[in-house]
Amino acid sequence: MEVFSGRPRGPERHPLVGGSRARRASLLDLRSAAGQVFLLQVVIVVLLVAAAAAGMVLQAANDALQQGRRESVIAAQSFASAPGVAEALRSPDPTAVLQPRAEEARKRAGVDFVIAMNTEGIRYTYPYPREIGKKFVGTIEPALKGGTVVEQAGGPPLPAGRGTDVQAVVPVTDSQGKVVGLVSAGITVRNVAELWLPELPIILGSGVAALALAVTGTTFVSRRLRRQTYGMAPVELAELYRHHDAVLHAVREGVLITDADGRLLMANDEAARLLELPADFRGRPVRELELPEPITRLLSSPEAVTDEVRLAGDRLLAVNKRPTYPQADPGGSVVTLRDTTELAAVSGRAEVARERLKLLYEAGVGIGTTLDVERTAQELADVAVPQFADLVTVDLLEAVLRGWEPTAEGWRHLRRAAIGGDRRMVPVYPRGQMISFSRRTPQMRALQERRVTLEADLRQAQGWREQDPERARRALECGLRSLVAVPLRARNVTLGVANFYRTVDSAAFEPDDLTFAEELAARAAVAIDNARRFTREHAMAVALQRSLLPRRQPEQDALEVAWRYLPAEAGVGGDWFDIIPLPGARVALVMGDVVGHGLHAAATMGRLRTAVHNFSTLDLPVDEVLGNLNDLVVRMDNEENTDDARDGREGEGVTGATCLYAIYDPVTEACTMARAGHPEPVVVLPDGTVTCPGVPASAPLGLGGYPFEAVELSLPEGSQLVLYTDGLVEDRTHDIDVGMERLRGALGGSGGRSPEETCRAVIDSLKPSPSSDDIALLTARTRRFPRSDVAMWDVPPDPAVVPSVRARCRETLLEWGLEETAFATELIVSELVTNAIRYGSPPAGVRLLRGRCLICEVYDGSGTSPHMRRAATTDEGGRGLFLVAQFAQRWGTRYTPPGKVIWTEQLLHDGASAASGLAPVDFLLDQFDDPGL
C-alpha cells in the first residue's frame, strides 16, 4: 500500500513536445488558478483602456465646444464693431449692404455663419439668401440689453453640414450706445475625433504593455504553481486529497505517521482500531499513548522494518516501517499494520476455494477422456484422490455398465466400477464385485433421496456398519473416519453412487464439502452417461454389423480362409467381407468399406453385402458385379437425398463405398478381380515373395458412369491372397504408403504360415491404438483341384453320341468309387447333353468334378438359357429339367465368353450321393399328372 508521507513524490519528467502550446492552453484553461487570474487581468486592462479612451473623447469634445464658443464670440463682436455696420442697419436696404460684408467676414473668420438682424430678430444676412428675412432661431433678449449670448442652438441648414451648432449673439450699438441691431456668429463642432485620435496609440500601447505584463506575470505564477503542485489544478489537488483521505481511512490496513521526535502525527481509522488509540493522539509522543511495549519500541526506533509480526494484545500484527523522506535527512516514519489473524482465516478460505476450483478444472479435463464407462468412473476416483478424499469408490448399476437404460429396480444391486486411493489400507469391496446395499446405508439413502448424504463419523453410522459388520469393523480399525455418498445423476437419470472417504489422518467432511462433492459428481455423471449412451449405440452397431458379417466359413474346396474384424473404438463403420462359393468349385472373395460410422453405415453395408450375394448367384463377371453395385449405391444416394431434402437435411445421408471383388477357380488356378476405389490386395507366393498384383484402380461406388476394369492372374497352389480395408494401413499419423510398407514387412516370410497365423501376425504389427477406423482383414490360401478328380471331354453335335457320353460318365464314376450316383448322374448328363445338342450350338462338352459334392457341367456355344416348365400329359418334352432338378441338389446356368454352362451339384455322403434315396423315376414322372403340382 502506498501512503503520502508529507512530501509528495514527483512524477517522472519527460520532455514536452509543444511546451509553449501547452502553457498557452493552461493559461486559457479557466479551471486553473492561472487562467482565472489571467482573465481577471485582461478584464482590468480592457476596462482601463476603455475608460481612458472615453475620457479622452469627452475631454476633446469639451475642448472643441469651448473653442467654438470663443471663435463664435470673437467673430460676432468683430463684425458688430466693424465701421458702418450700425449705419447699414438703419439704411433702407440693410441686406444689400451687409450681405456681402457678412459673407466676406464669415469666410475670413472661418465660422459657419455671420447673421446681422434687427432688434426683432429678423435676419438681414445668411449664407443661404432664401433664409434672409426669416426670424432668427436662438435667444436674443440678453443681447438686446447689451449682453452677450453664447448658446448651442439649431436653425436652418448650414454649409458645414450636420454637427453641434455653437452660436454667439452680440448687440450692435450706435454712437450713443443704443442697441440698433444684433450680430450672431456660429460654428459647427463636427469632428471631435481630430482632437483625440492622435492620443489613441498611446492609450492602446499602454493597454498592450499592461496585457503583456499580465501574461508574463501570470505565466510565471502558473509555472511556479505547476512546479509546486506537479501540474495539478487546485480542483485536482482537492479531489486528490479527498480520495487520499477516503482511501487512507477506508483500507483494512493501519497507517501511522510519526515525526523525528517520536510524535504521532497521523493515524487512520484502522490503526486507531487495532492499537485502541485515544481520541487526542495527534501530536502526542508515542510513549505517552500507553501502547503495547513492542509497538511503542517499534514506533520510537528509527530502524526500518519489513513484514515483522508483533504482538498487540490478542492480535498478531504484520508491521512494515519506512522513513518518510528516504532521500533526505532523517525525519519521520510511516508504519503500516496488518491484522494477520483475520488475514490467515481469509487466506485459508481463499486457498481452499482456489484448490477446489483447480480440482474442478482438473475434473473437467481429466474425466471423460474416453467413451468407456469403467474408465470414466476410474477417472473420477483418480481425480478426487488425494486432493478431496483419501479413498474413493464408484458403484454403478449393471445396466449402466452394459449401456442399457438404468431403472430404479436395479439400485439394490450395484457393481463396483472404480476404486481410487490405496485400497490396501482400507478393506473395501473389490472392483467388479456386485454389491447389494441395504436401505439404511448412506449409499441407498443417497440414491432414494437423490441428494448427497454425509456421515461425519462412521463410528456412529449404524446403517453403514450393518451393511457388512466385519468389513466395517476392520475399516474403522484401519482409520476410516467419514463418508460422503453422492448419487451420480445425469439427464434426470440415476446411474450409481460415488463414495468419498476420509481417514483419521485428514479432517472429517463438513457440510461445506457437500456442495463441492455434488459438483464433482455431477460433472462425472454427465461423462459416464455419455459413455453409457455410446456403449449402447456402439454395442448395437457392433451387433448389427457382426450379424451381417460371415459367422462361419462356408463349405468349399478352393481356399483355406481366415479373417479378422476389429470395430473402431469411436464407432462402428461399414467394413465388410464375404466368402461366397460359386458353381464349378469356384469361390468369390469380397472386401468392402462403406463411408461413415454408426448404424447407418452398418445398415448400408448389410444392403450391399446382400446385393453382392444376389449378383454372385447370377454368376456375373467381376466387372459386371461392381457395375451393378455402383448402380445400387447411386439409387440409394438418390433415395436418401430425397428423404433428407424432405426433412430439411439435404446431403447428410450421402452413401459412398469401396469394394474389391475376386473369383478364384481352383481348377485353372486363375483369379479374376476388380476393385472400385479399394486398396490393392497383396499376394504372398509360396516362396514368401510379397507382391501387389497390379489390379487397376477404379472410381469408388456411387460416383456413377465409370467403367470397372478386371484383371486375371494365376495363383500357384499355396499362394495367399490378402484383402483388407484402409483402416489397417492408413492412420492419422501416417499416410497409406507408409502403411503399405509396414504391411509388406509384416507379410514377409509368410509363405509357410497358415492364414490364421498370417492374420495374427498382421494385426499384431499394424493394429493402431487407439483404432479410429474399422479394420477388416481376409487371408485366403489357394488350393488346386486335384487333376484326378476332374474329368472332361468334348461332345460332337450329334444326338447319336448321347449313349457314348453316358457310358463314359459311368466309367468315370466307377473309377471314383461313386457307383451309387451313376444312375442319377447318367440321367442328368443325358438330359443336359441332349438339350445342348438340340437347342445349343457347338462346341459342346462335359466336365465332372469330384469334391465335397459331385459337379456336373455341360457347356455349349449358345447364349440361350433353359427354363424349367410344367409339361402337360400329352407333351412329348419339357420334363428333362424337372428330372435334373429332382436328382440334383442345385442346378443353374452361368455364362462364359464362348457361351454358357449348365451345372448341377449332387451332395456326397460317405461316397454316396444324396440323390440315391430319392423316389424312382416312374414315380417322378407320375407327378406330372398330379393336379396338385
For residue 285, CA distances in Å to 288, 312, 337 come to: 6, 18, 19
pTM: 0.53
For residue 232, the model assigns a pLDDT of 66
For residue 86, the model assigns a pLDDT of 82
- Geometric angle at alpha carbon 91, from 87 and 93, rounded to 5°: 135
| Sequence-ordered strand ranges (E) for 747-899 | 775-782, 790-795, 844-850, 853-860, 890-895
For residue 875, the model assigns a pLDDT of 45
Burial of 390 (0-12, 13-18, 19+ CB in 10 A): buried
For residue 274, the model assigns a pLDDT of 76
For residue 9, the model assigns a pLDDT of 41
How many CA atoms does the CB half-sphere of 930 hold within 13 Å? 7
Residue 339 has a CB neighbour count (10 Å cut-off) of 18
For residue 335, the model assigns a pLDDT of 84
Q: At what angle do helices 736-747 and 755-766 cross, to 10 degrees?
A: 140
Cβ atoms 520, 359 nearer than 8 A: yes
For 705, the grid coordinates are 458412369
Query: Which residues, 6+ apart, have CB-to-CB distance to 827 below 8 Å?
Result: 883, 884, 887, 921
Q: Could you read off the pLDDT of 488-515 as tens digits, one per residue? A: 988 888 899 999 998 888 888 888 888 8
Query: Which residues, 6+ apart, have CB-to-CB distance to 48 below 8 Å?
Result: 207, 210
Cβ atoms 509, 482 nearer than 8 A: yes
For residue 932, the model assigns a pLDDT of 38
Could you write out the DSSP letters of every residue in 828-844? HHHHHHHHHHHHS-S-E
Instruction: Report residues of the chain scoring pLDDT below 50.
Output: 1-23, 25, 192, 327-328, 649-654, 872-876, 911-921, 923-925, 927-933
Q: Which residues of 270-280 are buried (b: 16+ CB within 10 A; e: fewer)?
A: bbbebbebeee
Q: Could you read off the pLDDT of 744-764 as tens digits, one per residue? A: 888 887 778 899 999 999 998
For 580, the grid coordinates are 461366397
List, edge to edge, every strand of the sheet that includes 305-312. Answer: 264-267, 254-258, 333-339, 315-323, 305-312
Helix (H, G, I), strand (E, B) or coil at 256: strand
Long-range Cβ pairs for the range 125-132 (8 Å, 24+): 125/95, 125/98, 125/99, 126/156, 127/103, 127/158, 127/159, 128/156, 128/157, 129/99, 131/156, 132/95, 132/99
